[in-house]
Amino acid sequence: MNLLDDTTCADAMARLYEYLDHELLPHERTAVEQHLAACEGCRYHYEFDARLLDRIRDQCRTERAPVSIRRRVDRLLASL
């Protein structure tokens, strides 16, 4: 029996985040991928959410530690 054929759009959407987060088991991942290959609507939805998560990560990881905190850490390490 091929369990992979039974993935519905609702199943695929329920697993969207776990798929994008690489948290599915291999057989679950394969099932989602087979569904996405056959379903354009779900595939585009997945792509959009993947790009949104990329955008969030890119936009929110811009901080630079100020010189003051770098000095503070250097002093701390020197004191240990």
Would you tell me which residues interact with another protein (CB under 8 A)? 17-18, 21-23, 40-41, 44-45, 47-49, 51-53, 55-57, 59-66, 68-70, 72-73, 75-77, 79-80
Contact between residue 32 and residue 10 where contact means Cβ atoms under 8 Å apart: no
Q: What minimum distance in Å lies between the beta carbon of 2 and another protein? A: 27
Contact between residue 1 and residue 26 where contact means Cβ atoms under 8 Å apart: no
* Rg of the Cα atoms in the chain: 21
Contact between residue 46 and residue 20 where contact means Cβ atoms under 8 Å apart: yes
Measured from the CB atom, the residue of 5 and 73 that comes closer to another protein is 73
Measured from the CB atom, the residue of 5 and 53 that comes closer to another protein is 53
